[in-house]
Amino acid sequence: MQEQIDRESIAITVKASKLTAQGLALLLKPVVNQITKKYKEIQMPHGKQSVKQLMSHSASTNTIPIEGDMGLFEKVAKKWHVDYAFHKTGEDKYLLLFKSNQADAMTAAFSEYSKLVMKQAKDKRPPIKAQLEKATQKVEREKLQREKQRGRTHARHRQRNRANDVSRE
């Protein structure tokens, strides 16, 4: 009895160790699929890319027109992990292309970018006191220039009058 159990267990282990090609393919198929999926993800660029690369993702895209500093937007887009591309339409004018399925992240990134642009514009403005001083200096310069021109025209009239007086005598 013991011998029979030993023989059957040996037979089962031999059968189990003999894998056919079909059995091996069935076992390896999920592993191969997972490896190819990871490979494709690595090959697909993320973040800033060319328009051609973005279109090759086989996803629909949306656009937003932008003017100004693209470097500032790139910093914000990195934070939000958005796939995007720029297409230049004019001097300091760009068309921002992004995937439609990332619209929520792009909206958040774009609102943060808008806040930063507004803050920069506000920081670049000189204080009101400095603006007032500059304006008063400009008015004073213009006033001096007018006085100089009046002095020149009065001097010319005097010279003409003297020349006329001399020619009459």
Tokens 């921002």, residue located:
96
pLDDT given at position 141 = 92
Instruction: Give residue 114's pLDDT.
Output: 86
- CA 48 – CA 53 distance, rounded (Å): 10
Quote the pTM value.
0.47
pLDDT for res 138: 92
Question: pLDDT tens digits for the chain (169 residues)?
Answer: 678 877 777 777 767 666 666 777 777 788 788 888 888 777 777 788 888 888 887 778 888 888 877 888 888 888 888 888 888 888 888 898 888 888 888 888 888 988 988 888 777 777 788 888 989 999 999 988 888 887 776 666 666 666 666 565 5
CA distance 105 to 115: 16
Which structure tokens are listed for 29?
Answer: 């198929």
Q: What is the end-to-end Cα distance of the chain in Å, rounded?
A: 160
108 Cβ contact partners less than 8 Å away, ≥ 6 residues apart: 80
> Residue 137's pLDDT is what?
93
Residue 140: per-residue pLDDT: 92
